Structure 1
Amino acid sequence: MSSPSLLTEESPSVQAHLQIMQGVISRMADNSTASKAWCITIVSAILVLVADKSKPEYAFIALVPIFLFLALDSYYLALEKAFRDSYNEFIGRLHSQMVGSEDLYSVVPRGNMTKHQIDALKSFSVWGFYVCLGVMVYLAKELVL
């Protein structure tokens, strides 16, 4: 009975696995970007409706989607980080020549998701964007509407 052969960087199955992982990581980053775009769109639409109805006191309704998209965006960034950790772990095992067929096609996020989400909330790409958007809503209510 022969022992199972270890896989190398050149193995088509390893290349396919890495492409799958990279695709998942890219989708999480794209989802984060889409969250920001949708948030701006919805907040803008709410402010236009508030201005059209001449009801500036309702401008703070625009804070609801800001908080919802902040949570969604931080979730996507946390998932991206967890999948990058999984990718890096796989690469480490690959360089140590410890990858077998059982390591392939298992796309599972690694690490503590709660910690990743808290780290994402602390990230300037999250709080910087959503705090600025909240300030813009406040300024629109006070100065424009």
Structure 2
Amino acid sequence: METIQYSEDARHYISLIHNTINRMAGNSANCKAWLIALITACLTFSHGVLLSNFWILLFPSFLFFFLDCYYLGLERRFIKIETQFLNNLRQNENVSNMLYSFNIRPLGSNIKWTSKAMLSWSTMPFY
């Protein structure tokens, strides 16, 4: 009985992580979509005035770029958590301490993962 419940918990935990990964990927795609909509709206309603002040669009572009990289970094971190959990599960190790743990710290690693995402093929060609 114990192993059946344990298996159900493991499936639920993997499902939670996978849903989180999908949400981060959606947020990353939304950053790109909102930036395109914002730039298109600004260029449409400016009637050529904004072309001389094109640098104004750089501020939201940088904001969306950093937000997109943050979401991509989080997505990669959750993929790493999922991969570690599945590897431990395959090796029949005790994963009870990993169940429902979403520890994505330490703080310094936020900067590391975000900076790696800045050099990603999903962000650099777009921005």
TM category, shorter: 0.7 to 0.9
In the alignment, structure 2 segments of 5+ residues that lack a partner are none
1:1-145 paired onto structure 2 within 5 Å: 11-51=7-47, 54-109=49-104, 112-130=109-127
Aligned length: 124
Q: CA deviation at 1:6?
A: 8.4
Letter of the 2:83 counterpart: N
Q: Which has the greater radius of gyration?
A: 1
Which consecutive aligned stretches of 4+ in structure 1 deviate over 4 angstroms post-superposition? Answer: 5-8
Q: Does the Cα contact within 8 Å between 2:13 and 2:99 map onto a contact in 1? A: yes
RMSD, matched Cα:
2.3
Q: CA deviation at 1:42?
A: 0.8
Q: CA deviation at 1:65?
A: 1.1
CA, structure 1 residues 72+129, in 2 after alignment: closer, same or farther (shift >3 Å)?
A: same
Q: Which stretch of the first structure deviates more once superposed, 114-123 or 78-87? A: 114-123
- Provide the secondary structure at the position in 1 that maps to 2:53: helix
Q: CA deviation at 1:117?
A: 1.1
In the alignment, structure 1 segments of 5+ residues that lack a partner are 131-145
Corresponding residue of 1:137: none
Q: CA deviation at 1:55?
A: 4.8
